[in-house]
Structure 1
Amino acid sequence: MPNTLFRHIIAPAAAVFLVGAPAALLVAQEPDAPAFAHEASDLEPDSRVIYGTLSNGLRYAVMKNETPSDVAAVRMQINTGSVNETEAQLGLAHFLEHMAFNGSVNVPEGEMIKRLERYGLSFGADTNASTGFDQTTYKLNLPSVEDEVLDEAFFLMRETAENLLLDAGAIERERGVIASEKLARDSLQFRAFVDRLGFLTRGSGLIDRLPIGTDETIATMPRAEFVSYYRGYYRPENTFIAVIGDLEPEDAIARIEEYFGDWQPAGAALPQRPRNQASIVPGTVYAYHDEGLMTSVSIAALRPYTKRPDTAATRRDNAIISLGTRILNQRMSRAVQNGTAAYLAGLSSRSSVDDVVDGMLLNVRTTPDDWRAALSEAEQELRRAVQFGFSQEELDEQIANYRRSLGTAVERANTRKTYAGFEYNYAQALVSAFADERVFTSPQSSLDRFNAIAEGLTVEEINAAFRDAWRGYENPAVYFVSGEPLEDAETVLAQALKQSQQVAVVAPEARDVGSFAYTDFGPAGEVVSDIFVEDADAHLIKFGNNVRLNFKQTDFDTGTINIRVRVGGGFMSMPRKDEGLRRLGLNVLSRSGVVGHTANDLRTLFAGQRVGALTRTMIDNDAFEILGTTGADDLSDQLNLMAAKVAAPAFREVIAERHFRNMEAWYPTHDSSPGAVANKYLPRLIRSGDTRYGYDGIDSFLSATLDEVREWVEPEFKTGLIEITVVGDVDKEAVVREIARTFGALPMRADQKADFGANADLAFPSGSETPNRFYHRGNEEQALVYVYWPAPDASDPANAYRMRVLRGVFRNRLTDVLREEMGATYSPGAGAFSNSIFDGYGYALARVTAKPEDVGKVQGGILRVATELAETGIDSDAFDRALTPLIEDLNSIFENNGYWLNVLGDAQTGSDGLATFRAHEKTYREATVEEINVLAKEVFKQEDSVTAFILPAIEIAELDQR
């Protein structure tokens, strides 16, 4: 239920608008239509997936996947969304999704989430749903495949499918929650997104059917409309169930048949409503402005949408267009990195809204003063590509990169996750393939197919396909976004485009990036110690130059090696205490490449390889970090690059200048949302004014210098402590050999962490009953309430895990009070912070979105919950519902390379990670309700609390008028 709003239509801001699912989910299943896309395609489906159809028409797909072990994902997708709503029902599909958690024939209102929590599913993370234009998907991530957990999951899915009560009182109580969700999502950026979607799909009426609905219908839809829609669309023939995880397919299929085989629809089916095609008028120009938005301009070549089945021929055509688009994007990225572009970023992509409109889109972000030059350069770069095409060298680079990504997928095929938040996972991929009427093919078949495409593929064919994709570019649609209104915008924009089109373009010059310069770092270092840590199954190795290597071999992700290099003192060694210097350092280090090679040069040099390095300076980190992911075949080149990042860091003036331009373009919009204002002021507030946190005016960003970055970073990189962690599917001997050859060959390094002195001092502010007030210039109906309390530091590693239990209890209770009882918010949040660097410092917090007029009421509700926890405590059921999901997640957490990178990151120079690892499971399994109640009494002291209200700036004007 959380995080549902428009999930199916949000896309990267730069250019892409892949909206919803295609017509397959909008047209009723015809009697002779294939049940699954592969039945009407020449593409072979992945043999690991078993498909089937029950006698009542319900379709399913089942896939065995053992990563992580002993977990599973269940997805139930209903073939309906906001497009099917009548004018009186706008928002009903999404509202109905909420009602799935508000009472059914066999589950009382308010009990479904609690039941799932008792089985180890966390609300939001494991128990969720989403609504789009034409589909509604219910999601359960099961932390166990025990019979009782599987039976509960299937039972609750069946309850949702057929047995919702849709009680009038429950509907009434949920209206405020839906309104709060709508308010929480209604940012200036989202409004701009919807406007651009409306521009691209004008005439279709699509944006009149946004899943969230309207204020009027949310507030007034009667129960009868819910019942009608539910019975008309929640039907077995409209339902698809996917089960993925560490269980036998036969078991999953048997449960689908047991729980859904006797489901018979009640009443007549309601019709599926088709989408309308967009009205495409070449040369249309439109401008949108809001003072909280950055400037951007888009060029679009649009055409009517033509449905193409998912076949080998379709995929070949898409791959060829993609290769040309990648080359254009690489050219634009190079211009930005080289400092020759007026735009700050540029991206081209397919702009396709299924059944509505198709075409190509080129978007550039720019400063307010440079939009004309940015538009001209984008138009001319596109025209250069259309007229002169691409080179064989450019095509070879992109073919190599494309093949590499497919090859990596083949290696990882058997260890990709069943479900995950921010990486490829089979639950999402399988359900999306069904929704998009695509064949779910195996990684190996995708690689084989691409190799067949690439063999004999000519640059002339790429050029021809690119030109065809951009047909109509001579008279494109233009969409402009700015913070200030542009007078006579349509005329001015059209004239600027015409002037650019009159400028002749010439073919691009050939490039020669040479060869990588850093392959020999001197005599290989010698290992002076090698300690095996049994409980972590890891080796702690030290070289003669004091470089440390922490190594753990895993098979969690086949063919993948994760590497983290920690160098020097990072944020904690920063001499100038402000965010301006940190951000400049971050951008320069991450975007400058190395001496002799720009970042784009490196991209070309390592084309087709899993080689890359991200350098970062994170807040509250006591080291600079260089991160990389590679495979065994590329390990040598990966470590060459990472060692070069330390031995020869580049500090390019052009990157600094670009950073300053980005800051100047961004800063006028920095207070355009409540969350952005919170990021500016609150980190400093809760650290008693420490100027390293939060930020000041634009001058604080522009006054930092490249010389200051050099003076900070160079000594740290030259002699600072180096600790390297390698986790993954690789032999220890190979890793030791490559580290010895690269980092082990560097000059002598520091042998211990520096003493950060006063930089390691933080203080929580004194408590106050008076809220701190800050102001944003975003949606005038939005406000945020934050309440903080001092909490235990990280001196005892078990504290962090006890705080997670308390956080779960607190969040659940906040949801009960603020969401269900008061109807004051959509999704209250709770969190906690501690870091072993800072003795005596830690905090807990609550974060709630509210209407401006309700901030006092919300603050009161938060403090009431906190006081109740401190004075009355919690019962065993509330404790178990917060603790059980944490325990059930342990196996998944421990089978994750990223987790072990953190555990081993300081294993030889601090051992905080190992200490927290050793406390992790033990703390959870030994936790008691009594100790959490003691912790609540310690933390939630109202007199120590600090409150912040983030209010709309209109409040200031109203106060002045008073």
Structure 2
Amino acid sequence: MIFNKTLSVAALALIIAAGSADAQVKKRAPKPSPKSKPVPAALQIAGKALPVDPNVLIGKLPNGLTYYIRHNEQPQNRAELYLVNKAGSILETDAQQGLAHFTEHMAFNGTRDFPKNELVNYLQKSGVKFGADLNAYTSFDETVYQLPLPTDSAAVFEKGFNILANWAGYVTFDATEIDKERGVVLEEERMRGKNAQERLSLQTLPVLLNNSRYASRLPIGKEEILKSFTPETIKGFYSDWYRPDMQAVVAVGDFDVQRVLELIKKNFSGLKNPAAEKPRPEYNVAPSPGTVVKIATDKEFPYTMAQIVVKHPQVIVKTEQGYMQNVRNTLFNYMLNQRLAELQQKPDPAFLYARTTYGPMLGKLDAFSSIVVAKSGGLEQAFKTVVAETERARKFGFTLTEFERAKQAALAGMQNAYYEKNKTNSASYVREYQQNFLTGEAIPGIEFEFNYYVSNINKITLEQMNALAGKFISDQNRVIIVEGPEKDKDQLPDEKTVLSWVNTAGANLTPYVDNVTSKPLMEKAPEAGKIVAEAQDEALGTTLLTLSNGVKVILKPTEFKNDQILINGYSFGGTSLASDNDYMAASLAASIIGSSGISEFNQGQLDKMLAGKTVNVSPYITDYSQGIRASSSLQDLETAMQLIYLYFTSPRKDADIWQGNINQTKSILATRNLVPGSVYQDTLSAVLSNYNFRGMPATVERLNSASLDKAFSFYKDRFADASGFTFVLVGSFNADLIRPMLNTYLGSLPSTNKKETYKNLGIHPAPGQINKTVYKGIDDKANVQLIYSGNYTFNEANNIQMDALEEVLNIKLVERLREQESGIYAPGVKANYTKNPEGRYTVTIAFTCAAANVDKLVAATLDEINKIKQKGAEPGDIQKFVAEEARSTQVQLKQNVSWLGLLLSASQNGEDPDAILTHVKNLDQITVQSTKETANKYLNNTNMAKVILMPEKK
């Protein structure tokens, strides 16, 4: 289960993100906007109310329970059922701290109709995966349960409403189950917390949230209460706040709406509100005059960062005026962050990361938040740079070219959503209705939003946009937080210094200059190649084309999305063909070239040229292959094809991008050893690569050995010969209509017919038993990984057995380590198998626990593995895997991204792609005996690495 344990101030500054755009229009001199105080505490913008989407049925039962029901066929034969409670940790008494979240856990550990773990057991056998599908979360103001179900089984689907009703009013809180779950909840806290970010949050949240109730009601609660509360205490929270007048059922999916309404009435009408009903108190974060500065440090925090948060009263979008203000806010965020992105492309950027945004916060607040992560010793420069950009926007405003690009980006996003209106995933609607219930946020529907957007976005003026910075920026109700490593404590600024930085950052500013170009991406199309061979696969609906330059193209037209095309083109080779001396440069080549623009255009110009287009193209180089990933709308497919062509033929060498990336990587490496998890991961990488330097983290020395010339030369070599490339295209296109485009841009790629492939460098774990323990960290937190590895014969029959073994192991370890031992929150079990460069497998078992429990839990893990090796999997566990795999396969076969992966994998591994059509049928090959044989073959304790992170010895 997920819970919002702490609200990272970094997260507050990263709430809204935008895309990219451009336009060629005349520039106009911007006007300055004045500084102002925060807006008054009027929480709503007056005006005409937004309509309610007519496609959703909203109502209330006599007991006050609200329902939202919508028919939606994406994905087919599936439904999303949610129970939303307006009850979170903010409602806990002092004695109940942590029990809102604990209540969520207990809903899965015994209800009236599902004693103990029967609910999870039933759903798993119905194909619902615990954790991945079946889940819940607890936050400050709400607790939400999610239940995705198949609708092609009436019994399972209808049972889902009974399950929601059991959560809503019939959790039993068995004392024995409570005691067993205490350890699980504490282990969840250990896994998600017990780190530098948690410790810093405990220092900074009281300041950020002005010592409000939000600062003292973190959803995880307090350890001493979790260990000792009585059943009566948690039952008190449940009976007070889990009641129908504070609950909503949200049902969206491929079903009959009236039948669902009947099921809701049948299952939820019997729920009753308490006789002595408590009014739900409303809490907020009171404003504070002036600016509060907080400096916080931690021994294990690797960065120096600053956050500036100007708090404003929350605005809930309910009216047309409020909607348009929200659009303006989004445009503002986009334009300001585009400027910060340009600064990041300099040869020596002033910061490692920066983001500024206006958006939702907590406690009925919105916030204008800036966050900046500095290089070592560079906090002042980083801080002033980010403040200066917001001040530049306040003083001089935005340019008309920036404004037009932002509108194009916004329109492109809205247009995409509109085009996909009948292919939108049900979960997207659920989130909208959930917010409507919790906050009253309007749900006008995509039809209204699209038409309103198109009709009104051009009514927004540049003057309105330029006034926003003055509205958002203020020295009142402002919090500035500086966080850094404890070792740098003496170098961090004091409050007076921080305030002086803010006040002087805007000195000597000049207006922003928008560097745009009117040139086209390509002056003329290349000389086209032609199709020389063609083969159809009627079963899969695919076409294999061979072009005159040797390039192969696999086409799979689909109707899963109305306007989405996914592309991946690859050939073998990768960094395996680089010499040891050139490996560092080779490993950086694709990311550097992919960030350097294309042809004669730098990255900033390229981003602006792609204004309002739905297109994304990036080159990649892995250990054993190189290629291009891309996605686009049908309208922008030619732009995607042009970019693919240019990444082959006209990659751009940008010394500024190279130097900026090298400097930033060195800065990150300088403090990497402060973080226990990073040190642990470095050890794991060393073990899994048998200490081959290619599998280990970069070092400053190795970075110094790399050069842009080497990286650029390696990149050009990898893309000099397209004859070995295979491109897979999946999505909403007509295969016949796009052939000329394929001939023009793929058929014209350079071809030398090298017929090269990768080198097998033999990088994998050494055979035998390996035991490594890393001692790092001040908290009682241990990470354990058991890694089995060896040779493997890659084929469909073996792969199915390995997948089954993975899930059976996961089920058994949840039962043993979580439910029985109460020693972990969730195990991570992953079976990986590859054919290239050679047949190899790894089975990794990972978990987090208390240091004192490591040996006991490792022994319990090995005991469960031994049981499977001796007796095979239990039939019930096999049934769960088969049901889950069958359901997930049905969903995947209706997704473009899944088909892209399937066709790509079949091509790379020389497998029959038609095998996917018999995959579900082949699941009957999994038996008790087959799981026993698979476990004995692959879980060999004499060929296992055990790598453990333990806290530092005291």
Q: How many angstroms does 1:687 deviate by?
A: 3.6
* Aligned counterpart, 1:231: 239
1-side partners of 2:505 and 2:690: how far apart? 56
Distance 1:343 1:171, change over 3 A: same
Deviations 1:545-574 (A, max 9, x none): 011111101111111111222255234434
C-alpha displacement of 1:214: 0.8
Distance in 2, matches of 1:640 and 1:378, equals 35
Paired residue type of 1:526: K
| Paired positions, count | 923
Q: What per-residue deviation string (whole Å, max 9, x for no partner) do you get for residues 468-522 of structure 1? A: 122448x954221222214573246336515734722111224232323425342
Partner residue of 1:289? 297
In the alignment, which residue of structure 2 is the partner of 1:944?
943
Percent of aligned pairs sharing the same letter: 21
The alpha carbon displacement at 1:134 in A equals 1.1
Counterpart of 1:189 in structure 2 is: 197
Q: Does 1:565 align with 2:569?
A: yes
Tell me if the contact between 1:204 and 1:356 (Cα under 8 Å) persists in the aligned partners: no
* Paired residues of 2:302 and 2:674 also in contact (CA < 8 A): no
Question: Which residue of 2 is the match for residue 54 of structure 1?
Answer: 61
Please give the TM-score of this superposition, normalised by the length of structure 1. 0.91
Aligned to 1:767: 768
Preserved CA contact (<8 Å) 1:61 1:243: yes
Query: Residue 694 of structure 2 aligns with which residue?
Result: 692
Give the superposition deviation at 1:582: 5.7
Encode CA deviations 1:126-145: one digit per residue, 9 max, x unaligned: 11110010111111111344
After superposition, residues 862-901 of structure 1 pair within 5 angstroms as 862-901=861-900
User: In 2, are the aligned partners of 1:325 and 1:466 still within 8 Å (CA)?
Assistant: no
Q: Indicate conservation of the 8 Å contact 1:578/1:700, yes or no.
A: no
Please give the residue correspondences for 1:329-344 in structure 2 after superposition, counting only pairs within 5 Å. 329-339=337-347, 341-344=349-352
Q: Could you tell me which amino acid in structure 1 is paired with residue 545 of structure 2? A: I
Task: Map 1:121-200; keep pairs closer than 5 Å.
Answer: 121-186=128-193, 187-193=195-201, 195-200=203-208
Q: CA deviation at 1:153?
A: 1.2
Task: Indicate the residue corresponding to 1:532 in structure 2.
Answer: 536
Alignment of 1:162-561 (within 5 A): 162-186=169-193, 187-193=195-201, 195-298=203-306, 300=308, 302-308=310-316, 310-339=318-347, 341-419=349-427, 425-472=428-475, 477-483=479-485, 484-487=488-491, 489-491=493-495, 493-494=497-498, 496-497=500-501, 500-501=504-505, 503-518=507-522, 520-561=524-565
AA partner of residue 563 (structure 2): G
Structure 1 residues 853 and 493: CA distance shift in structure 2, 3 A: farther
* Distance (whole Å) between structure 2 residues aligned to residue 792 and residue 923 of structure 1: 23
Which deviations, in whole Å up to 9, do the C-alpha atoms of 1:191-225 show, x marking residues without a partner?
A: 44554444321232312101000111111111111
Match in the other structure for 1:30: none
What's 2:14 paired with?
16
Q: 1:232 to 1:467 in 2, by over 3 A?
A: same
Q: Deviations over 1:133-183 (max 9, x none)?
A: 011111111134421111221122112222211011111111000110001
CA displacement at 1:837 relative to structure 2? 0.1
Judging changes above 3 Å, is the alpha-carbon distance between structure 1 residues 113 and 487 closer, same or farther for their aligned structure 2 residues? same
Matched letter for residue 95 of structure 2? A
**What CA RMSD, in Å, does the superposition of the two structures yield over aligned residues?**
2.6
Q: Please give the per-residue CA displacement for 1:257-304, whole angstroms capped at 9, x wherever unaligned.
A: 111122223543333232232342323222222243343544535245
Q: CA deviation at 1:680?
A: 1.8
Residue 723 of structure 1 corresponds to 726
Question: Whole-Å Cα distance in 2 between the matches of residues 428 and 48 of structure 1?
Answer: 15
After TM superposition, the structure 1 stretch with the greater mean CA deviation from structure 2, 303-312 or 317-326, is 303-312
Aligned amino acid, residue 108 of structure 1: P
3-state DSSP class of the match of 1:535?
A: coil
CA distance in 2, matches of 1:829, 1:578: 36
Structure 1 partner of 2:32:
none
Cα pair 2:348 2:660 within 8 Å, conserved: no
Residue 715 of structure 2 corresponds to residue 707 of structure 1:
no
The answer to whether the 8 Å contact 1:232/1:268 transfers is: no
Determine helix, strand or coil for the equivalent of 2:636.
helix
RCO higher in structure (CA 8 A, sep ≥6): 2
Distance of 1:219 and 1:489 partners within structure 2 = 40
- Deviations 1:10-43 (Å, cap 9, x if unpaired)? 686482369xxxxxxxxxxxxxxxxxx9999721
Between 364-373 and 120-129, the greater mean CA deviation after superposition: 364-373
Give 3-state SS (helix, strand or coil) of 2:114's partner: coil
Inter-partner Cα distance in structure 2 for 1:651 and 1:511: 19
Given residue 452 of structure 2, which amino acid in structure 1 is its aligned partner? R
Q: Cα distance, 1:57 vs. partner? A: 0.8
- 1:86 and 2:93 equivalent? yes
With over 3 angstroms needed to count, the CA separation of the structure-2 counterparts of 1:270 and 1:328, relative to structure 1, is: same
Per the alignment, residue 67 of structure 1 pairs with 74
1:881 deviation in Å? 1.6
1:848 aligns with 2:850: no
Do the aligned residues in 1 keep the contact of 2:576 with 2:760 (CA within 8 Å)? no
Deviates more, 1:60-69 or 1:706-715: 706-715
Q: Which residue pairs with 1:626 in the alignment?
A: 628
Query: Cα distance 1:945–1:657, how it changes in 2: closer, same or farther (>3 A)?
Result: same
Amino acid at match of 1:377: T
Q: Show the counterpart of 2:805.
A: 806
Letter in 1 for 2:768: G
When residues 133 and 491 of structure 1 are mapped into structure 2, their CA distance, relative to the original with a 3 A threshold, is closer
CA apart distance, 1:916? 5.9
**Structure 1 residues 466 and 87: CA distance shift in structure 2, 3 A:** same
AA aligned to 1:632 is L
SS at match of 1:564: strand
Aligned residue among 631, 635, 638 for 2:637: 635
Do the aligned partners of 2:384 and 2:502 also contact (CA within 8 Å) in 1?
Answer: no
| Residue equivalent to 1:21 | none
5+ unaligned residues in a row in structure 2: which ranges? Answer: 17-43
Label 1:679 to 1:138 Cα distance change in 2 as closer, same or farther (>3 A).
same
The 1:217/1:169 distance shift into structure 2, 3 A limit, reads same
Q: Do residues 745 (structure 1) and 744 (structure 2) align?
A: no
Residue 395 of structure 2 aligns to a residue in which SS?
A: helix
Cα distance in 1 for partners of 2:502, 2:66 equals: 53
Moved more, 451-460 or 896-905: 451-460
Contact kept? 1:674, 1:784, Cα under 8 Å: no
- Listed as ranges, the matches of 1:21-40 within 5 Å are none
> Amino acid of the residue matched to residue 95 of structure 1?
F
After TM superposition, where is structure 1 displaced by more than 6 Å over at least 4 residues in a row?
37-41
Listed one character per residue, the Cα deviations across residues 770-820 of structure 1 (whole Å, up to 9, x for unaligned) are: 63112434x522111111112662522332222111111101100111111
Are the aligned partners of 1:684 and 1:694 in contact in 2 as well (CA < 8 Å)?
yes
Aligned twin of 1:27: none
